[in-house]
Structure 1
């Protein structure tokens, strides 16, 4: 019955609109121009609207940059991110210059050369000089940008385990959490396979591989500052994505294969937390949370905790119902603090011994 009444109401609304359109048509002044051909008045209006639109678009763009600049990421906390950000800025500047010129000319010409019955259009078949100019300039600019991008990409993705003394860490993804595995004193990760997952062996380490006995499995990622880190990534179930925005790092974590990424942290957690950008941002967040807490307390709920900045490893693939909650804290600290923390973590061999004794 409800469906029938809904259909009847929709039909009546449609009939009413149809009747109103007929009334409006009959009420039009006699002698009004009902022609479908644009006249000078129409052309003037459209030309002015085009000019007004491009001015509005530029003003809106400027406003958004001024008003929402705090939504951008701060300076990179990884060494390669400096070059990455520079490439991004150059690309955006070029895009905005081209957009400003082309859109400005397009809308200005739409206004300047709007239709007029007294004007006659100029026609010519081609202009080789103009075609050469507007072809060669984009070719040169894009070639330079692409070559620069390729060199930058190669430098970022060139993972050399023999260079310096890199730290080898495995990032292990599963629905819906992360685990990190440190390679121990030998700096070599032991073999692993999901078929070996049992008991405390949550990452499937091969118990017959001696290289894995000193590996350490943790649920909080600690990194020493100014030391290269090579991440080897595995997934237990579905496609995940290891995303560390402050380090300008992202890599898919694919079931059945190992993917790699590396970077060198250059800002500790404390340094980023105390930076001018982050102090201002945290203050803004806490101000919003304080206002929200007043509403929660009034409704009988608990107030929100004070926010404090930390680096996090996130999943950037929609991997299931709890995807939003798949994150792991990252702490970048001095080499001394890192070594002290690592000594307190159990090795895989110690975990197996504790399981056997229990």
Structure 2
């Protein structure tokens, strides 16, 4: 391995020296005055044609990407009430971006070809045009303002918590590198908590105030269960560094900031079982398992254990690079019927019962 690195370094040094020599040669005054160092019509023609070829390449690679990877599965399987609004905002933004990209790239490359340098042609000195300046300033301003205002209205509608709907209160507690969930219990009020109150010996890992009566019925779990159709308000804390609670299928994301509580609310609309039966998800799971099967063959050939088959679960992920094990910071989310949720929650110990 050391020899390989040495060879790579030597190659890089050789390339650097070669580039320096080229720069030095270009910096010298040329003694050849036949064309004064100016590109010929042939040079300009070749470069103009290359611009058109590059334009074709951009369009072709874009079409290929859309054909093979353009289904955007996360744009078609929102599992929360507000998810359709977020998807609609994203779709409008992408349509605008690609429309502008197609037009501007065509004009850029076509003009580079059409107005390439030719002997006898002189470029027109065009100082300014107030009308054109106004057009290409006002149109982007109006377009971006519309997107921003639409986005603000969408965000406001998502973040307005309807207290009359009696939302269930759940705390998401982030720490390097795992998540813990705390349900507010029958009183639907979370007990007070502070990281200074953490007591590992008494199994008080979240720093819950044991003197607060609202904390007695709180339920601490490592797998998040949510009843379908039930509004949920998440109160989010971080023990150590900046994390980000990201639940992609619910179109939910909120930073977890040490020293403060942030909030996000949504209503799940699709159970885990229903999502597993979604045709797009079935295809995705099949594709993942085919990849895992091939990988397992290599592992077994080395005497290692095969990978277990993948089954879909909603996930709570960390969307901030919070340390070396950031990639592994996740927790399963199970969306189920109210009856299934009630049966599960009854099996869990309360905070008071879990204290040692």
Per-residue CA deviations over 1:107-141 (Å, capped at 9, x if unaligned) read: 00111111111323333433333233222222222
- Once the two structures are TM-superposed, the CA of residue 55 in structure 1 deviates from its matched residue by 1.0
Q: Secondary structure at the match of 1:57?
A: helix
Q: Secondary structure at the match of 2:165?
A: coil
Per-residue CA deviations over 1:2-34 (Å, capped at 9, x if unaligned) read: 9xx99xx7899689969x99xxxxxxxxx9967
Quickly say closer, same or farther: Cα 1:15–1:126, change in 2 above 3 A. Answer: closer
Kept in 1: contact 2:73–2:280 (CA 8 A): no
Q: Secondary structure at the match of 2:335?
A: strand
Quickly say closer, same or farther: Cα 1:248–1:116, change in 2 above 3 A. Answer: same
Per-residue CA deviations over 1:234-254 (Å, capped at 9, x if unaligned) read: 111121111111111111111
Q: Secondary structure at the match of 2:246?
A: strand
Query: In structure 2, which of residues 307, 310, 313 is the aligned counterpart of residue 310 of structure 1?
Result: 313
Q: TM-score, normalised by structure 2?
A: 0.88
Aligned length: 339
Quickly say closer, same or farther: Cα 1:187–1:101, change in 2 above 3 A. Answer: same
Q: TM-score, normalised by structure 1?
A: 0.88
Aligned: 1:269 with 2:258: no
- Once the two structures are TM-superposed, the CA of residue 206 in structure 1 deviates from its matched residue by 0.9
Partner of 1:147: 149
Q: Secondary structure at the match of 1:178?
A: strand
Q: Which has the higher mean CA deviation after the structures are superposed, 272-281 or 195-204?
A: 195-204
- Once the two structures are TM-superposed, the CA of residue 278 in structure 1 deviates from its matched residue by 0.6
Partner of 1:233: 236
Distance 1:289 1:70 in 2: 22
Kept in 2: contact 1:48–1:111 (CA 8 A): yes
Larger radius of gyration: 1
Query: In structure 2, which of residues 135, 138, 162 is the aligned counterpart of residue 136 of structure 1?
Result: 138
Q: Secondary structure at the match of 2:164?
A: coil
Superposition map of 1:119-198 within 5 A: 119-160=121-162, 162-198=163-199
Distance 1:267 1:180 in 2: 20
Q: Which has the higher mean CA deviation after the structures are superposed, 52-61 or 116-125?
A: 116-125
Distance 1:80 1:15 in 2: 54
Structure 2 stretches of 5 or more lacking a match?
23-31
Partner of 1:319: 322
Superposition map of 1:28-67 within 5 A: 35-67=36-68
Distance 1:235 1:217 in 2: 15
Q: Secondary structure at the match of 1:255?
A: coil
Kept in 1: contact 2:228–2:271 (CA 8 A): yes
Kept in 2: contact 1:169–1:183 (CA 8 A): yes
Quickly say closer, same or farther: Cα 1:327–1:112, change in 2 above 3 A. Answer: same
Partner of 1:242: 245
Quickly say closer, same or farther: Cα 1:206–1:72, change in 2 above 3 A. Answer: same
Partner of 1:259: 262
- Once the two structures are TM-superposed, the CA of residue 174 in structure 1 deviates from its matched residue by 1.4
CA RMSD of aligned residues (A): 2.7
